[in-house]
Amino acid sequence: MRVAVRWTLCLAMLLPCACAMKVHKVALDPTRLVARPQAKLLCPYRMGQVVDARPTTGRAGGLGKHLFLVEDAAALVRSKLEGIGIAAAAQAGDPVDARLMHLYLAQNTITKVPVLVLSVTVAGEPAFLLRSQKASMNWNGSEDEAYASFSQMFDDAMGQLVGKLNARCAAPAKG
């Protein structure tokens, strides 16, 4: 009985501390996303429509006390597509359209999971999904650690896209 009373008192004392933690809102800065070198595209592609179809209002999850907000997620995805060689102003090459379905960083005490889901359509063919959600250890919940996770998420998704587009280049023409 005494143990239950002690735990109740302990929780009553700690609860105000947990509630008082301030949330640090961070506008996601695309310049802090470090991109790994990707494989090159084997044939030309041009930028089609990039649409932010997320059901949220700009929130991209968080890590520790950091809540990330994305002001223009479509522009962020567009820049990542350009980074792998999809030309923004090209006249040649099949168009690549992308719908951003999810973009967020989830966490628990020991794990962080950056999630990116893109629905991609190439030249009007049926859409395919790209999903990145590689979990990793949550070491200290810092802003830098969150940026590393966002970077890894985009690198993974863009690597998947390069692989799919290159496989399409190598495939015989349908006709």
DSSP at 152: H
Quick one: pLDDT band at residue 11, thresholds 50, 70, 90? very low
Quick one: pLDDT band at residue 173, thresholds 50, 70, 90? low
Q: Is the pTM of this model over 0.85?
A: no
CA–CA separation, 98 and 78 (whole Å): 9
Place of tokens 């190439």: 122
The answer, yes or no, to whether residue 113 has pLDDT greater than 50, is yes
Quick one: pLDDT band at residue 43, thresholds 50, 70, 90? very high
**Mean pLDDT across the stretch 149-172?**
90
Domains and CATH numbers, the chain: 22-28+41-170 (3.40.50)
Tokens encoding 32 = 């802090």
Of 68 and 117, more confident: 117
Choice among 15-24, 54-63, 132-141 with the minimum mean pLDDT = 15-24
Look at residue 121 in the predicted model and tell me its pLDDT.
97
pLDDT in tens, 66-93: 888 888 999 999 999 999 999 988 778 9
CB 124 within 8 A of CB 48: no
**In sequence order, what are the residues at sequence separation of 6 or more whose Cβ sits closer than 8 angstroms to the Cβ of residue 166?**
39, 41, 42, 43
Average pLDDT, the chain: 84
Q: What are residue 139's phi and psi, to 5 degrees?
A: -80, -55
